[in-house]
Amino acid sequence: MEIAEKAEGIIRLALAEDMGADGDVTTSAVCPPDATGRGVIVTRVPCRVAGQPVAAKVFELSGGATYSILVEDGTDASPGTELARVEGPLASILGGERTALNFLARLSGIATVTARLVSIAQPYGVAIMDTRKTTPGMRILEKYAVRLGGGTNHRQGLFDGVIIKDNHIAAAGGLDIAVRRARNSLQERFPIEVEAADLAHVREALDSGADVIMLDNMAPELVGKASALVAGRAGIEVSGGVTPENITTYLGQGMDSISIGFITHSAQAVDLSLELEVEN
C-alpha cells in the first residue's frame, strides 16, 4: 500500500473534486442511508493491472467500503477478469466508484502500453523510459504505472537529474560552457546528459565530456550514424517522436534507451466497470 500512502493527497483531491460541497446527491436521494452492497470490478479488455492500492484507498476514504484485490498490480489480465471486489456501505461504493475506476483505468492503460513497448524493445537490449510529460499532480502515480509495465523511470523532476537542453545551452552561451558549469557545480552527483539535434551537436557533446547524449527528434537513419560516431564513449538515449507505431524503425540503431512521452501523455485508458449487487 506504499504507493497509496504517497499519493493520498492526490486521491483526496480527486474525491473532493467529485463530491463537491454537497456530496453524492443522487445516492443520498435514492438510496437508504444504511444500505449496504457488494460489487466486482471487471476489465473488458486485455491489460496490465496498475493502481489497485490506490483504488483501495479511494473506497477507504469515501466511507469505509472494503476492497479485496483479486489481481495484483503488475499482473496481466484478460477480458472478463474480475480484478477486485468491494463491499460495504452503498454510499461508499457509489461515491468512490468513478474516482477508483478513473485511477485504475488510467494507470492500467499506462502499464499496458509500456509493457507492449518493453516486449518489443527487450530483444535489442534497449530500455523503455518515461519522461516528464505527465498529467500535472499525477506524476508519482503515472511513473509507478510505467514501472509496473516493465519500463524505467527517467528523472522524477528537475531536482534529481541533469539534462542540458537547447535552452540551457543558449542561456549559458554554449554547450561546452553549460557542461563545464554543470560538472563544476554538481561534481559527480549526477551524470551529465546533453540534448543533441544533429551530428554536429553529437560531436560537440562528446568533446564536452557528456556522460549521456540524448538524440532529440532524429530520424532513425540519423540515429544509426550518431551511434557510430559515439562508438561507446557515452550513453545514447533516443527521444522525441517515438510511438508504438514507429518504434521498430529505431531499434537496432545502437541506442541504450528510448524515452517515450507517449506512454504517459497518450496511453489509452483501460475499459473497466464496477458491477454492483445490492443487499436486501
Provide the grid cell at 110. Answer: 499506462
Q: Tell which residue, 252, 238, 257, 262, has the closest CA to residue 123.
A: 252
Q: Are 109 and 236 in contact (CB under 8 A)?
A: no
One of 132, 133, 183, 225 is an active-site residue; which one?
133
Active-site residue identified among 142, 193, 195, 237: 195
Q: Of 8, 18, 85, 98, which is the active-site residue?
A: 98
- Pairing of the two strands 257-259 and 127-129: parallel
Amino acid identity, position 144: Y
* Catalytic residue of the set 130, 142, 204, 216: 216
- Dihedral, CA of residue 19, residue 97, residue 64 and residue 83, to nearest 10: -160
Q: Which entry of 85, 116, 155, 165 is annotated as an active-site residue?
A: 165
What's the distance, CA 82 to chain centroid? 24
> What does the alpha-carbon distance between residue 49 and residue 270 come to, in Å, rounded to a whole number?
9
- Longest CA–CA separation in the chain, Å: 75
Q: Establish whether 165 is a catalytic residue.
A: yes
Catalytic residues: 98, 133, 165, 195, 216
